[in-house]
């Protein structure tokens, strides 16, 4: 079984739950080895949030036109 750092597993859990993550703080505290993976998790969180937004529009009451999704700032940092 691969061993992943607890800190990364904890953040991955937050991503899977769509919970807020203070990416700037996490990146500041991360060592070099973890920082790249953290950025990957941040990107996955962005994809997940955008996908959920589109799916919510699909299940919302009908409205005119195709749903618009507000683009997320890429690697903007801060609480996501």
Partner 1 sequence: MTALISMVKPPEGERLSPPRADSATRSPETTIALVVRARGGDRSALDELCVRYLPRLRRWAHGRLPSWSRQMIDTEDLVQETLTRVTARIDKFEPRHEGAFQGYVRQALHRRLVDEVNRAAGKVAESVGSARPSSDPSPLEQAIGTELLERYEAALLRVKPEDRDAIIARVEMDLTWAEVAEALEKNSSESAQMTVKRALVRLAREMSHGSRA
Rounded (5°) CA angle 70-73-78? 120
Rounded (5°) CA angle 11-12-17? 95
Mapping DSSP to helix (H, G, I), strand (E, B) and coil, where does residue 22 land?
strand
Q: How far is the CB of 24 from partner 1 (least distance, A)?
A: 17
User: Is residue 27 part of the contact set for partner 1 (CB under 8 A)?
Assistant: no
Q: Between 66 and 79, whose beta carbon lies closer to partner 1? A: 66
Chain centre distance of CA 59 = 22
User: Is residue 21 part of the contact set for partner 1 (CB under 8 A)?
Assistant: no
- Which spans of this chain sit near partner 1 (rule: CB under 8 A)? 2, 4, 8-9, 12-13, 15-16, 36-41, 43-44, 46-48, 50-55, 57-59, 61-62, 66-72, 74
């Amino acid at each position: 079984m691969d061993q992943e750092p607890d800190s990364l597993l904890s953040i991955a859990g937050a991503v899977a739950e769509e919970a807020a993550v203070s990416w700037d703080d996490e990146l500041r505290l991360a060592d070099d080895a973890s920082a790249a993976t953290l950025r990957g998790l941040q990107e996955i969180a962005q994809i997940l949030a955008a996908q959920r937004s589109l799916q919510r529009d699909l299940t919302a009451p009908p409205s005119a036109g195709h749903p618009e999704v507000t683009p997320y700032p890429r690697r903007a940092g801060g609480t996501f």
